[in-house]
Structure formats: structure tokens, C-alpha cells
């Protein structure tokens, strides 16, 4: 499995691409950033860790790299395609009206020009509202997928850590200084092992065409082993 994946999930790519439509069609400030992931921690009962080893795992990568994650995020991307097409059509309409205003504005009488300006403004606002709604919907569905997988992956992580003698597992989804880990060698990373264990338990076959992107701050963390230290809350990377 590749150690580095692109920083954006398919659904996030959709979010940013539709946001770009509105931004390219307006000189107004950029739209607000997409909402961050839910902070809910899976309700997982774990035993106190007795090992002494320290390990790392990239939770976001593990969720997305799983067969189930790749299948469901790819399905979400396809599901969102019609909405992106709709938003592109809305953007094209706004651009056409702006071009008309630019080319003919000085030739129109005051009333006609005022009507055209108002039409551009109304359609621009409608586009921006639609983009924001699409962004929120995409982020919500992305988080639902991640949370569902995480609920089932958390106990696998805990069992693996106990079986292999780990006393602490730290999340490396966010690089330092946003995340808690300054540096960690590949020998202590258990991401690949957890993905393989999860795939074996889930029974979901590998996709015929593997997806090569991953979530960006779209997941919450599993519960830390009792008596241990809970990983720091994820801060989404800059958009």
C-alpha cells in the first residue's frame, strides 16, 4: 500500500470543484470552509493495554484504503456527479449573463441595464447558496461513511495492539505540528496491518480499479485503550 496518498477524498474534490464554480463567477470573498468532521468517538469497550511498545496508525488512510471505504467513497462520488453537472449549468448561465452585461451594458438604457444587473445578482446568490448546500451535503455523507467504518475498525485496532504488545497507538493522520507525532519510522506503523485485518473481517472484495485519494480530516478517532492517552482531535488541513 502506498505510504502517501493525495490529500483529498473524491467527495471533497467534488466540494472544491463546485465551490470553484461560484468563486470563478463572483468577485465576492470565498465561500465559508466546509464543516469539519463530527467529533463523535465510537462507543467501543476496550481493555487496558499492558504492552510497552508505541505504534502509529493513519486512521484516515486506513478508513479510505479499506476495500469498503474505497467502494463507498467511489459510490458517493458517482452519486454526486448529477449535482455537480447541475451547478456547472447554473454557473454557465451566470457567466453568460455577465458577458452580456459586459458587452452590451453601455448600450442599454437605464431600466434594461438595471434589470440585467439584478438578474445577474439573483442568479449569482442562488448559485452560491446551491454550492454551499452541495458542500454541506457532500461533507455529511462523507462523514457518515467514515464513522460507519470507524465503528467497526476501532475494536480491530484495539485487539491488534493488545496481541502485538502495544501500550500506545498514536494517530498520524495530520502531520506535525497539527498532529501529535513529530516523526515516526515505518517500522512502528500498523496502518497496513489494520487495513488487511479489516478487509479480511468485512468480506468486501478489493475494487477492480483502486481509488488513490483519501479523506482530508473527515474522520473521528477510535476510543483510546482504558488508562491510555486519547489521540488529539483532528484539525482539518487548510482548504
Contact 239, 33 (CB under 8 A): yes
pLDDT in tens, the chain (239 residues): 333 333 333 333 333 333 344 444 343 333 333 333 334 444 444 455 567 899 999 999 999 999 999 999 999 999 999 999 999 999 999 999 999 888 887 778 888 888 888 999 999 999 999 999 999 999 999 999 999 999 999 999 999 999 999 999 999 999 888 888 999 999 999 999 999 999 999 999 998 876 655 544 444 444 444 444 333 333 333 43
Per DSSP, helices labelled H in 31-185 are 59-65, 67-104, 110-163
234: exposed, middle or buried (Cβ count in 10 Å: 0-12, 13-18, 19+): buried
Length reported for the chain: 239
d(CA 162, CA 118): 65
Q: What is the pTM of this model?
A: 0.66
Contact 58, 49 (CB under 8 A): no
Amino acid at each position: 500500500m502506498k505510504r502517501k496518498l493525495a490529500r483529498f477524498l473524491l467527495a471533497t474534490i467534488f466540494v472544491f470543484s463546485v465551490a470553484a464554480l461560484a468563486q470563478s463567477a463572483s468577485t465576492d470573498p470565498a465561500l465559508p470552509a466546509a464543516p469539519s468532521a463530527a467529533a463523535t468517538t465510537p462507543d467501543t469497550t476496550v481493555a487496558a493495554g499492558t504492552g510497552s511498545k508505541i505504534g502509529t496508525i493513519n486512521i484516515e488512510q486506513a478508513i479510505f484504503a479499506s476495500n469498503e471505504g474505497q467502494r463507498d467513497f467511489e459510490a458517493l462520488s458517482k452519486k454526486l456527479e448529477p449535482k455537480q453537472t447541475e451547478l456547472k449549468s447554473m454557473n454557465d448561465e451566470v457567466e453568460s449573463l455577465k458577458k452580456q452585461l459586459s458587452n452590451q451594458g453601455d448600450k442599454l438604457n437605464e431600466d434594461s441595464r438595471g434589470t440585467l444587473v439584478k438578474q445577474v445578482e439573483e442568479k449569482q446568490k442562488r448559485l452560491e447558496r446551491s454550492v454551499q448546500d452541495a458542500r454541506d451535503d457532500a461533507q455529511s455523507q462523507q462523514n457518515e461513511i467514515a464513522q460507519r467504518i470507524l465503528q467497526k475498525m476501532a475494536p480491530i485496532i484495539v485487539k491488534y495492539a493488545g496481541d502485538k504488545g502495544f501500550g500506545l497507538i498514536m494517530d498520524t493522520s495530520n502531520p506535525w505540528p497539527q498532529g501529535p507525532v513529530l516523526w515516526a519510522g515505518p517500522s512502528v506503523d500498523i496502518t497496513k496491518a489494520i487495513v488487511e485485518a479489516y478487509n479480511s473481517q468485512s468480506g468486501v472484495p478489493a475494487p477492480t480499479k483502486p481509488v488513490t485519494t483519501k479523506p482530508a480530516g473527515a474522520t473521528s478517532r477510535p476510543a483510546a485503550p482504558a488508562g491510555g492517552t486519547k489521540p488529539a482531535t483532528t484539525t482539518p488541513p487548510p482548504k
